Amino acid sequence: MALMITDECINCDVCEPECPNGAISQGEEIYEIDPNLCTECVGHYDKPQCQEVCPIDCIPFNPEVRETHEQLQQKYLQLIARSK
């Protein structure tokens, strides 16, 4: 499952630099997470770093983008291969 940022976001700017995949970017009003780039930090960390640093806890799992740990691992490997 990818993560998402809810409209409770206060644009504090702490999540974006923590994302190892560059999945977080500034949207029109709040930060957004690209589900095609989000691996929930699988391959990088044990826990999603954006959730760890968010001061208001507005980054839940996106129920519309369901992925298994294995699928997230595969996405991570594909992203790493593209960056080489």
Q: What are the domain boundaries of the chain?
A: 16-83
Res 20 pLDDT > 80: yes
The answer to pTM > 0.75 is: yes
Tens of pLDDT, residue by residue over 25-64, are: 999 999 999 999 999 999 999 999 999 999 999 999 999 9
- Looking at CATH, the fold of the domain delimited by 16-83 is given as Alpha-Beta Plaits (3.30.70)
Give the helix/strand (H/E) hosting 69: helix 69-83
Gyration radius from the chain CA atoms: 12
